[in-house]
Structure 1
Amino acid sequence: MSEERLDDDAKLLASIGYKQELSRRMSAFSNFAISFSIICILAGGISAFPSALGAGGGASIGLGWLVGACFAGLVAAGMAQIASAYPTAGGLYHWGSILGGKGFGWTAAWFNLLGLVFVTASVNFGVYDPFFKSLFLPALGVDTSSFGFWHQTLFIAGVTLSQALLNHLGIRLTTRLTDLSGYLIFVVAISLIISLLIFSPVPLDFGRLFTLTNFTGMEGSAWPQHDSVIVVFLLGLLLTIYTITGFDASAHTAEETKNAAANVPKGIMNAVFWSALFGYIMVCTFILVMPNLTDGVKQGLGFLDALLGSVPPWLKLVLATGILVCNYLCGLACVTSASRMTYAFARDGGLPFSNSLKQVHDTHKTPVNAIWTAAVAAIIATLYGDAFLVLATGCAVLLYISYIMPTAAGIWAEGRTWTHKGPFNLGALSKVIAVLATLGGLVLVWVGVQPPNDKVLYLIVALGLVLLALWWGLGVRNSFQGPPSLNKTMR
C-alpha cells in the first residue's frame, strides 16, 4: 500500500475532525477477518443452536436461519453505506451523531458499548462452557462434573485478560491472529460438517429442515410454552440474531484499516455473507445428523458432544481443539472491537475518565487503557452465575438497537444534512433498504426480549435509558460536544 494511499486515509480522517493516532496496518482481508471472527459460526452457531431447536425444531433452522440472515444482511447494508462515508473508529456513535444529533449519537454509543461488553462476555463464557468444560476436556477424558463457580470465573478471567494483553501489544499481532481465525473458521467448520455427515448414524431426511415442531415448554427448551406458530417461528431467530452480530467490528477498526472508505463496507458485507452461507450449511447439518430432535432438545448445550459421539475419538479431539481455538480468537476480536469503541467515545469526552481512556500507547499505538477497561467490564458481566443466555440475548438486543439507530436517522438525513457518500453507495435503493433494515432490526430486538429473558433485558434497557436521560439532563448535554464534524460544515 503506497504512502499516497495512507495519506489519503489520514486526510479523509482529518476532514471528519480527527488526527491519525492508531497504527493503520489492516488490509481488506484483515478488516473482513475481524468481523468474521466475531460472528464466528463456531461460536454462536453452536452455543445458540439449542435456542432455535427448542423453539420450532427443524424449521427454525432450515427456514429461520434464512429469514434471520436476510434481516441481518439488510442491517449490514445500511451500516456499510454509512461506514463508507464516515470511516472512523466507534463508527455507530459518529454516524448517529452526524445523522441524528449529538444526543442521539450519545445514546447509540452507550447501547453499542454495552452490547460489545456483553458480546465479549458471552463469547468468553462460551469458551469455558460448552467448549472447554463440556467438549474439549471430556475429549481428553477429564471429568468436569465437580467444576464450579470459581473454575468458571478464574478461567474466563484468565482468557479475557490474555486477550487484552494481545491487544495491548499492538494491532499487528492481533491482526495476524484474527487473520488466522478467518481461515481457521472455514477449515474447522468444513471439517466438522464433513465429519458429521460421514459418520452420521441416521439417513439424511431433508424434510426435517422445513417441518415446524413446537418444542416450547418442553424439557430442555429455553422457551416457555407458546401456542402461536408465528411466535414459535420468530423465537427461533435468536440463533441467527446472536450468531450474525458483531460485524460493526469492521467499522470500529476503520482507523487501522488501509483504504477504509472502500474496505470497511466490504468487510462488513463479506463477513455477513460468508457467515450466513457456511453457518446455514453447518446448522442444517446438525439437524440432519441428529438421531432424534426431541432428545436433541433435552440435551441442550450438550447436543454437539452427543453428535460427535459417532466420530472416532481422535477426530473428536481434533475438532474440539479447533472449535476451542476459534472461540478464543473470537473473544480476542471482541476485545478489539469493544476497546476501539471505548477509545473513540472517550476521545470526544463521552465517558467518565475520558482523558485516561483515550490515551494511545507511544510504542504499540493501541488504546491501552480502553483495552483493559473493556476486558475488566466483560469479566464483571460474567459473574452472574449461569449467565450465558442473558448475555447472548442481551448483546444481540443492545447491538441491534445501536445498529438500527443511525440507519433510521439516515432515512431523514439523506439528501438533507447527509449529502456525501463513499465508494459503497446503495443508490436509489438506499432509503428502501434503510426502512427494511430498521423494521427487520426491530423484529430481531423483539425476539430477544421475549420470556424468559424479558425481565432482565427490560430492566437493563429501561434502567439504562432512565440513567442516560438523567445523566444527559444533569449537564452532560452542555459539556459533551460530540464528534468534531458536528461543529464543521458537513462534507
Structure 2
Amino acid sequence: MSVEGKQHSSTSLNTSDDDDRELVALGYKPSFKREFSNLATISFAFSIMGLCSSIATTFNTPLTLGGPASVTWCWILGACMCFTLGASIAEIVSAFPTCGGLYTASAELVPRRHRATVGWLVGWLNILGQIAGISSTEFGLANMILAGVSIGKDNNYTITAGKTVGLFAGLLVVHGLLNSLATRTLARMTKGFVFVNLGTTFLLIIVLLAMTPRSEMHSAKYVFGSDGVVNQTGGWNTGIAFLFGLLSVQWTMTDYDATAHISEEVRRAAYAAPSAIFIAVIGTGLIGWVLNIVLVLCSGPLENLPGPSGSAFLEILSIRIGKGGALTLWAFVCLTAFFVVQTALQAASRTLYAFSRDHGLPDRGFFGKTSSWTHTPLRAIWLSTIVCVLPGLLDLASPVAANAIFSLTAMALDLSYIIPIFCRRVFHNHPDVKFKPGPFFMGHGFIGLACNTICIFWTLFVCIIFSLPNLRPVTALNMNYASVITVGVIVLAFAWYVLGAHRHYKGPQSNIQRTQPSEHHVGDRQDNETKEHA
C-alpha cells in the first residue's frame, strides 16, 4: 500500500473511532461498519427524494386539480417551507446521530416521565410513514413502467390491477435482495445515484426546451398568472383547488430524516448526515421548481392531459420528443424511482431495527440484531420488505383502501418530524432535558426559533390539505381516508401501549452492558458520561 493509501486508511479509521465514541456516549454500542462517505451520504439524501421520478408520479394532481399556475407557485412555496423543516430536522440529527433518528431524539427532548409515550408515538408515526412511502413509491414505479409499455405499444396494452400488483411485489423483492448486501457495497452503489438523478433532471429540462417550438410554448401568464389557474375539483373553491398543488412538493420533499437512519454507517455522521439533508432540500427545491416550470411551459393544451397513458409527465415527453426519445428518458426517470425505494427501504429497516433494539416491537428484540455476515440488520430488512408488500396487495381488493394508505405518507412522516422540534422548544429549560447541539446548529436566537415555529405551523396546515378529498361531491370512491387511518393507527398503537407494551418499552434504552440496571435511558448514559469526564 502506498504512503498516501496508508494515510487515508489511518484517517478513515480515526474518524470511525471518533464516531463510535460519540455513539457510545449516546448509549449504543457500534453495530455497523461506517462505509458511507460524504458523497455517498449526499447522494443518499438526494435519492430518497427522487426529484424527477417523484414529480413524474405526482404531476397529475396539481396540474389537473389547480391548473398550471398551481404547479409552479405551490412548488416554490412548499419548497421554502420544507427548507425550514429540513433545517430544523438537520440540527436535531446533528445532535443525535443514531439510526433511530428523530424517534430516538424525541424521547430525549422531553422530561423523563414522558420519554416512553413520546418515543412510542413518534416511532410508530415514523414507521407508518416510511412503510406507506416505500409501498406507494414502488406502486408508482410499477405504474410508470406499465405506462411506458402502453406508450411503446401505441396504447394497445391493457393495464390491469393484477399486472400492477405483480410487478410491484416483484420489484420489492429485488430491493430486499439488494438491501441484503454489505454496507460497503451499498455505499458504493449509492454514490452514483445522485448523478443519475440530477443528470436525468437536467437532461429533461434541456431536451424539452430544445424540442418545443417557441410558438407552441405557453405564455408567462399561463405559467405564473391567472390564465394558469384552473379549478377542476368539481366543487371546491378556487383557493382550495390551487392549494392542492402542494401535494406534489410535500410528497416529493419528505423523508428528510432517512439520512439520519443510516448515520451509524456514515463517517463523521454529526457533520455529514445533517449537511446532506440541508444540501438535498435546497437542491431538490430549486431544481424541482425549474423542472416544473419547463413542464408547464412545454405542456401543450391542458385538455389533452394526462392522455391515454394516464401520466401527464410522460405524455408531454411523448408529444415533444417522440415515442422513442420519450421512452428512453422515461427509462432513466423510472431508474431514479428505483433508487428512491432502494434508499427508503434501507432507512426503514434501520428504523425498525432501532425500534426493536429499544423493545418497541413485540419481538423480544429479534429484529434488533445485525447479521455477523453482512453487518446489516437482515431480519429488519426482510420484515420491512414483507410489510411493504401488504398495502399494494390491497389494490386487488379495494383500490380506494390502497390509495388511502399511500396518501398518508407525508402526513405521518411530517407529524413525526414536528413533535421532536416542538418538544425541543417547549422543554429546553427543563432539568431533565439536556440538549447538546451538534456541529449543525441554527443557534438559540431568532433564526432557529423562526425556522422551528414556521415549520410546525406549516406542517399542521398542510396536514389539513392532505386530509381533504380532492374531488367533490365526495363519494366512497374519492373519499380521502388518510387522516382516518393515521388517527386510527395512533389510537391502536396507544391502546397496545396501555394494554401491555408499557411493561417492556421504556423509551430508547442503552444496549451497552454495564453494572447499572439496563432500564437506564440514553439520556442517563449521557449524564454518566458527563460525570465520568468530570
The TM-score, its normalising length taken from structure 2, stands at 0.86
Query: Which of 479-488 and 336-345 deviates more?
Result: 479-488
Query: Which of 173-182 and 149-158 deviates more?
Result: 173-182
Q: Deviation at 1:373?
A: 0.8
Contact 1:204 1:288 in 2 (8 A): yes
> Closer, same or farther in 2 for the Cα pair 1:419/1:466, shift >3 Å?
closer
Distance 2:526 2:192 in 1: 42
1:132 aligns with 2:132: no
Identical positions, percent? 26
Q: Deviation at 1:354?
A: 4.4
Q: Deviation at 1:367?
A: 0.4
Please list, as runs of the form range in 1=range in 2, the aligned pairs for 1:308-387 lying within 5 A after superposition. Answer: 308-309=317-318, 310-385=320-395, 386=399
Distance 2:234 2:306 in 1: 13
1:112 to 123, 126, 141: 126
Q: Deviation at 1:390?
A: 3.2
Match for 1:478: what amino acid?
Answer: R
Match for 2:468: what amino acid?
Answer: Q
Contact 1:244 1:275 in 2 (8 A): yes
Query: Which of 81-90 and 429-438 deviates more?
Result: 429-438
- Corresponding residue SS for 1:357: coil
Corresponding residue of 1:207: 221
1:127-159 deviations in Å (ceiling 9; x for gaps): 111x20002x24543766333222112211111
Corresponding residue of 1:291: 300
1:156-180 deviations in Å (ceiling 9; x for gaps): 1111111111111122222223222
1:188-241 deviations in Å (ceiling 9; x for gaps): 11111111111115134222222255544x3xxxx4521152x22322100110
2:423 to 405, 409, 422: 409
Corresponding residue of 1:179: 191
Distance 2:426 2:344 in 1: 31
Distance 1:52 1:302 in 2: 13
Corresponding residue of 2:33: 23
Query: Which of 142-151 and 261-270 deviates more?
Result: 142-151
Corresponding residue of 1:390: 404
Q: Deviation at 1:319?
A: 0.4
1:469 to 494, 501, 507: 494
Please list, as runs of the form range in 1=range in 2, the aligned pairs for 1:49-448 lying within 5 A after superposition. Answer: 49-100=59-110, 101-129=115-143, 131-135=144-148, 137-138=149-150, 140-141=152-153, 145-201=157-213, 202-212=216-226, 213=228, 215-216=230-231, 218=232, 223-229=233-239, 231-296=240-305, 301-309=310-318, 310-385=320-395, 386=399, 389-416=403-430, 417-427=433-443, 428=445, 429-448=447-466
Distance 1:311 1:228 in 2: 33
Contact 2:73 2:224 in 1 (8 A): yes
> Closer, same or farther in 2 for the Cα pair 1:224/1:398, shift >3 Å?
farther
Contact 2:63 2:245 in 1 (8 A): yes
Contact 2:208 2:298 in 1 (8 A): yes
Distance 1:263 1:474 in 2: 41
Contact 1:52 1:237 in 2 (8 A): yes
Contact 1:55 1:214 in 2 (8 A): no
Q: Deviation at 1:392?
A: 4.3
2:481 to 434, 437, 456: 456
Q: Deviation at 1:14?
A: 0.4
Q: Deviation at 1:300?
A: 8.3
Distance 2:371 2:56 in 1: 37
Contact 2:79 2:285 in 1 (8 A): yes
The TM-score, its normalising length taken from structure 1, stands at 0.93
Distance 2:207 2:81 in 1: 31
Distance 2:133 2:209 in 1: 31
- Corresponding residue SS for 2:31: coil
Distance 1:144 1:20 in 2: 55
Match for 2:294: what amino acid?
Answer: T
User: Structure 2 regions of 5+ residues with no counterpart?
Assistant: 1-10, 471-477, 510-521
Q: Deviation at 1:7?
A: 0.8
1:5-49 deviations in Å (ceiling 9; x for gaps): 111100100011101101211012211211211101122211111
Larger radius of gyration: 2
Match for 1:418: what amino acid?
Answer: K
Corresponding residue of 1:37: 47
Distance 1:405 1:224 in 2: 35
Contact 1:57 1:211 in 2 (8 A): no
Contact 2:75 2:289 in 1 (8 A): yes
Query: Which of 397-406 and 317-326 deviates more?
Result: 317-326
Corresponding residue of 1:488: 525
> Closer, same or farther in 2 for the Cα pair 1:5/1:440, shift >3 Å?
same
Distance 2:120 2:455 in 1: 21
> Closer, same or farther in 2 for the Cα pair 1:12/1:189, shift >3 Å?
same
Q: Deviation at 1:315?
A: 2.1
Paired positions, count: 483
Distance 1:284 1:299 in 2: 23
Match for 2:275: what amino acid?
Answer: K
Contact 1:410 1:418 in 2 (8 A): no
> Closer, same or farther in 2 for the Cα pair 1:56/1:42, shift >3 Å?
same
Distance 1:305 1:228 in 2: 27
Q: Deviation at 1:401?
A: 0.7
- Corresponding residue SS for 2:105: helix
> Closer, same or farther in 2 for the Cα pair 1:20/1:373, shift >3 Å?
same
User: Structure 1 regions of 5+ residues with no counterpart?
Assistant: none
Distance 1:252 1:144 in 2: 44
Contact 1:134 1:144 in 2 (8 A): no
Distance 1:31 1:92 in 2: 18
Match for 2:176: what amino acid?
Answer: A
Q: Deviation at 1:451?
A: 0.8
Distance 1:346 1:196 in 2: 48
Contact 1:346 1:358 in 2 (8 A): yes
1:374-433 deviations in Å (ceiling 9; x for gaps): 111111111222467534421111111111111111111334423410100101222221
